Amino acid sequence: MTHTKIFCISAVLFFATPSCGEDDPKPVNPCGFDPPTIAGTPATDALASSPARCGQPAHEWIDSPNLGEIVGVDFDDIYPQDTLMLAAMIAGIELPEDPVYDVRVQQVLYTTQDRGQLVEASALIATPQGVDKTTELDVLLVLHPTMGFNDDCAPSNDSDIRAMAAIFASLGFVVVAPDFLGLKGTGVPTGFVHPYIVGQPTAIASLDAVRAAGRLTADVAPDLCVRPRALVFGGSQGGHALLWVDRLAAYYAPELEMLGMAATVPASDLAGHVMRATKEVVESTPLAAAFLGAAADWYGAADVNELFKLDLDPTVPELLASECNPDLRPDNLEELFAASTILAAAEDTLLDLEPWGCIIKENGLTTTSIPRVANDSDSYGILYVLGENDSLAYTPIEQQAFDILCDQGMPLEYLECAGANHGQTTEYAMIELFNFLMDRQAGKPMRASTCTRAEPVICLSTP
């Protein structure tokens, strides 16, 4: 949920690259990205035809061949292999293998959709150069932590993130790092605040960014064998986004194969976190306010300012629209929230207020009305990593969320890093993250004891 460069610097993974057959069909690139597909079963069609929630104006998902289409390329540069090796050394990154390839990193505009309209979003796509055309590459979808709330905060304009995308790609796969909707790094401004911690628009834009990778590689590297298969990694806000990619992939992009995912310190039980953050001033109180202020705009809710102190100047939505790191931390709840909001939280009736209770519940994985319909392979699973001392994505809430999601049938594996706070957890768990995703790519079956919550352990990269 919070912006931390350790996510960008230490999340380095490496995956083997098996051979690609000469006779594979080649509709888009040598490994065959199929045209975009929306839904296709009664259960998935039902959501695609009526995805609006919480009083939002009715709309349908657009089933368009243009989804993922590249409509512009802004940043386009080559990162030499030896430069990437030096950058990793300077950053203190201990790579599982030295960078192998020069890498081309491009900031692209691509077509996605939002509330029944085709729109443009931006992303970084990093491709290794000089790869033998018989080598298959998978996509690594990297979902960023909190970077801000408007276009000026676009992650793809961050030089560290560009360098990290290049380092990942130099190890032998195509990296896709989308700017979430409302964080547009190039082109015509988005025109609205980033729908922060809102599941649908974030997952949809992320899945279309994977589709964009197939189109881009077909254009700039027609011999590159990029399969329509993805591993997904996300921490903090990116962990929440990852769980929504898992939830919506079968509905929105069934032609893509999700191999496995690793989520660190996500806010899965959003209702639990918002309730805690409105009962007392805690580390997550500013982000709960940001979520409510940004989500209201996306849902078209009437007057979000009724949730906040009457004389705030600027208002919470105005702050989100103008700053990347607005100061929303109050000394006491009365400085930020309306008396009615504080009272509802104290009486445990906040979730009964409409449309706010609906908006909160619909964006939590434990409370959304959208069921999980994925037909998982034996090897598919999600590593769910928490920090013992995380006071932001508060560990006791997320422990209970893990149990609930397991009961709902999600294939989860639990890891809790002893002594780690929110910002440290991803760093401390890097070896476990790498090993888990490598096993998923190799098709190794998930362990029979997957959905068991274990005691904290000293994670393997703990200093």
Predicted confidence (pLDDT) per residue in 416-439, tens digit = 999 999 999 998 998 899 889 989
Helix (H) or strand (E) holding 208: helix 199-220
Q: Where do the domains of the chain lie, and which CATH numbers do they carry? A: 5-12+23-268+370-441 (3.40.50.1820), 272-362 (no CATH)
State residue 3's pLDDT score: 37
Three-class SS state of 118: strand
Q: Are 458 and 41 in contact (CB under 8 A)?
A: no
Q: How far is CA 204 from CA 125, 208, 224, 353, in A?
A: 17, 6, 25, 28
Q: How far apart are CA 375 and CA 64, in angstroms?
A: 24
Gap between the Cα atoms of 179 and 236, Å rounded: 15
Are the C-beta atoms of 167 and 99 separated by less than 8 Å? yes
Displacement of CA 277 from its chain's centroid (Å): 22
Give the 3-state secondary structure of residue 91.
coil
Q: Give me the pLDDT at residue 92, please.
A: 61
- Mean pLDDT, the chain, rounded, equals 90
Q: Whole-angstrom Cα distance, residue 148 to residue 195?
A: 11
**What is the number of helices (H) and of strands (E) in the chain?**
14, 9
CA distance 28 to 6: 36
Question: What pLDDT, on a 0 to 100 scale, did the predictor assign at position 430?
Answer: 86
Kindly state the tokens that stand for 304.
Answer: 């979000």
pTM: 0.92
Cβ neighbours of residue 168 closer than 8 Å, sequence gap 6 or more: 12, 13, 126, 140, 142, 175
Parts of the chain with a pLDDT under 70:
1-30, 92-96
State phi, psi for 176 to the nearest 5 degrees. Answer: -120, 120
Q: What is the pLDDT of residue 217?
A: 80
Q: What is the pLDDT of residue 4?
A: 36
Among residues 172, 78, 77, the alpha carbon closest in space to that of 132 is found at 172
Q: Which residues contact 254 (CB under 8 A, 6 or more apart)?
A: 37, 39, 40, 44
**At residue 338, what is the residue type?**
A
Instruction: Identify residue 149 by its one-letter amino acid code.
Output: F
Model pLDDT, residue 29: 55
Q: CA dist 358 to 200, 239, 245, Å? A: 14, 22, 20
CA angle 158/211/165 to nearest 5° reads 30
Neighbouring residues of 314: CB distance < 8 A, sequence distance ≥ 6: 322
- Rounded to whole angstroms, the Cα distance separating 118 from 116 reads 7
* Alpha carbon distance 420, 429 (integer Å): 10
CB atoms inside a 10 Å sphere around CB 5: 14
What residues have CB less than 8 Å from 395, skipping those under 6 apart? 386, 387, 388, 389, 416
Q: What b-and-e string marks burial along 99-109, b requiring 16 or more CB atoms within 10 Å of the CB?
A: bbbbbbbbbbb
